[in-house]
Amino acid sequence: MSDLMEMLKRRGFLWSSFEIYGGSAGFFDYGPLGAMMKRNLEELWRYYFVIKEGMYEIDSPTIGLEDVFVASGHVKEFVDVLIECSKCGAVYRADHYIEERAKISVDPVPEEIQKALNEHAVTCECGGTFSHPVEFNLMFKTAIGPGSRKTGYLRPETAQGMFVNFPRLLKFFRNKLPFGVVQIGRAYRNEISPRQGVIRLREFNQAEAEVFVHPAEKKHPGFDSIRDEKLLLVTKFDEEITLTAGEAVEKGIIAHEMLGYFIVLTKQFLVNAGVDEERLRFRQHRDDERAHYATDCWDAEAKTSYGWIEIVGIADRTDYDLKKHMEHSQKDLTIFIQYEKPMKVRRKKIIPKMNIIGPQFKDKVREIVKALENYEFNGKVSINIGGEKITLSEDMYEIKEVEEEITGERIIPHVIEPSFGIDRIFYTILEHSFDEDEVDGEKRNVLHLPGYVAPIQVGVLPLLSKKELMDVAKDINTNLRINGILAEIDESGSIGRRYRRFDEIGTPFCVTVDYDTLRNNTVTIRERDTTRQIRVPVDDLVVDLKELLSLKPEKAFEELGEIVR
C-alpha cells in the first residue's frame, strides 16, 4: 500500500489537501490524473444507470434547509459518539477506537461506550483516561443569508434532493411508476477522527439512484436477463455462499427481484470498472444493523489493504423518506394508481356539523372540511391543519355509511436505492489494479486499468526526438484527441523508460512513430499488459484504438494488425 500511495502522489492521482499549511485529516485533492480517472469512472456509472437503465439525472444544491434534514431524521439521528482524552485532548470516534484497542464490537450509544471503557480498561494512546462519551452530529452546519440567517446544512448524502423534488419528478415521468432518478455530486460528513486515507473523508463523492416503485410490485422486467449471474453473498447470519441471483431471490435471501437486479447491475459496473471479482462480495445487513425503515439492505464490499470495506449500499428504503417529507412539508407526495376496473366499496364517511365547527374554527373550516372528505374513520377524528393537530369531538360530526365507486387509489411509492461511494471505488480500483513485475529485465510498476477508466488512454511516442518524427507524432496526437481519445506525447528519455512511465499510470496502449512510419505510413501499437506490439496503418489508428478502448470490443488486439513483437 505504501508503494501505491507514493506512486499516486508522485504521478498526480491523489494529494493531501492544504499540504503547504500542514494538511487536514479527511480531505484529499484529486490531481490531474486522478481527476480525469474519477471523471471517467463517473461517466461509466452514467452509462450503466442513465444510458443503459434509462434513468434521468438531476443536480440539486449541496446546501439544504434545516427543515429538509429535520424531516429526514438527520438532525436528530445522524450522530456518532466521541470520546476525548482528559490528558492530551485527543478526540476519537468511540466505537471504532474501542474496536481497535479492545478487539470488541460495541453499540455506538453513550451508555454502552462507557460500559466498554470501564470493563476493558480502555485508555488513550498517551495513557490518559477519557471523558464521558457524548453524541456528535456529523453534519456541517451553516447559516443561509444575512438578517434572520436561516439554518442550513451541507448535505450528508445526495438522496434528499431527489426526495424533495418528487412532485416535479412525478410529473416529468407522466405520473407512472416505476421510474429512476440519479445524482452524482459532493456530500459532507464531519467525521470525528477520519483515518484510512480516502476510505473515510469529510468531503466525498457519491453517485446515487433512487428508483420509485409500487409497494406491491417489486419485480424487475429485466431480471430474467441477469438471473444466472453468480454472486458471492454473506447473509445476515454471517453465512458465506455463492448463488445465482435467481436462486437468492427464490430462496428469499434477497428480498425481491428489484434488489436482486440492482445487486447484479452493481457487480457488473464494479467489475468492468476494474474491481477484482475475486475480492468482491455482497454482505447483507443483520437485523440489528439494518436501518429501521429498510426491509432489506446489502453492501458491496471489496477486500483491500484496509480489510473488507463497503463501497456500495443497495437498500429497499420502503416509503420512509417520502412519508417523512409529507408529514413535515404538508405536501402531497402520493401518486394515483388507476385500477383496471372500478370497484364498489362501502365506507364510513364523516359529515361535519357546520353549525358547530364553523364558529369554533372560523378560518380553518374550509381546510377541515377538505381533510375530512377522504378521512378513514377509526374511532376518533384527528387531522393536521397547517402543522396544528386538531381533534374533533363526537358532537362536531356524524357518521354515514356510503357506497362509492373507486377507480383507483393513492399510494406512497417505495424507493430502491443503490448508493455508490465514488472515492472508495476509485481507491479500490487502483489497489486492485496495481502490480509490480519485470519487463525486459527491468522492474516496472503497472496499473492494469480498463481503457475507458484510465486517465491517459494512449501514449504517443516518437522513437527519437527528431523533427520529422515529432511532426508526425503531433499530427497523430491531435487527430486522436479530436476524435475523443485522450492521448499524450512523451519524447523524453529512452523508449523503454517512456513505456514504463505510461504503464505506471495505467495507459493501456502506446503508439510509436518510427522511420517505417515515414516510409509506409504505419505505426506500432503496444499493449500495456502483455507488452505485445502490432503494426497498423496510421489511417486505421482511430478506428482500431476506439475498438480496443470500448467496453465490449468485438476484435482482439492481435486481430487488428501484424504482431511484430
224-239 tens-digit pLDDT: 999 999 999 999 999 9
- Answering whether pTM is above 0.85, one says yes
pLDDT in the model for residue 1:
67
Domain presence at residue 374: yes
399, β-bridge pairs: 350
Examine the domain organization and report whether 283 and 366 are in the same domain.
no
pLDDT in the model for residue 339:
87
pLDDT in the model for residue 122:
94
Range of the domain at 498: 456-563
Examine the domain organization and report whether 358 and 270 are in the same domain.
no
pLDDT in the model for residue 213:
97
Query: How many CB atoms lie under 10 A from the CB of residue 410?
Result: 10
User: CB under 8 Å to 45, separation ≥6 — which residues?
Assistant: 184, 207, 269, 420, 422
161-206 tens-digit pLDDT: 999 999 999 999 999 999 999 999 999 999 998 878 888 999 999 9
Sites in the chain below the pLDDT cut of 70: 1, 148
346, β-bridge pairs: 403
pLDDT in the model for residue 381:
87
Can you read off the three cell numbers belonging to residue 82? 466521541
Report how far residue 311's alpha carbon sits from residue 309's, in angstroms, rounded to the nearest whole number. Answer: 6
User: CB under 8 Å to 379, separation ≥6 — which residues?
Assistant: none
Helix (H) or strand (E) holding 342: strand 335-352
Query: What CATH code is carried by the domain that includes residue 423?
Result: 3.30.930.10
Examine the domain organization and report whether 326 and 350 are in the same domain.
no
Domain presence at residue 61: no
pLDDT in the model for residue 363:
84
Examine the domain organization and report whether 324 and 345 are in the same domain.
no
Domain total for the chain?
3
pLDDT in the model for residue 360:
86
Decide: 413 and 177 in contact? Cβ < 8 Å: yes
Examine the domain organization and report whether 366 and 480 are in the same domain.
no
Query: How many CB atoms lie under 10 A from the CB of residue 335?
Result: 21
Domain presence at residue 471: yes
Report how far residue 369's alpha carbon sits from residue 354's, in angstroms, rounded to the nearest whole number. Answer: 9
Report how far residue 386's alpha carbon sits from residue 365's, in angstroms, rounded to the nearest whole number. Answer: 12
Domain presence at residue 73: no
Domain presence at residue 79: no
Domain presence at residue 172: yes
Examine the domain organization and report whether 528 and 428 are in the same domain.
no
193: DSSP letter: S
pLDDT in the model for residue 21:
94
Examine the domain organization and report whether 220 and 365 are in the same domain.
no
Examine the domain organization and report whether 257 and 188 are in the same domain.
yes
Examine the domain organization and report whether 487 and 532 are in the same domain.
yes
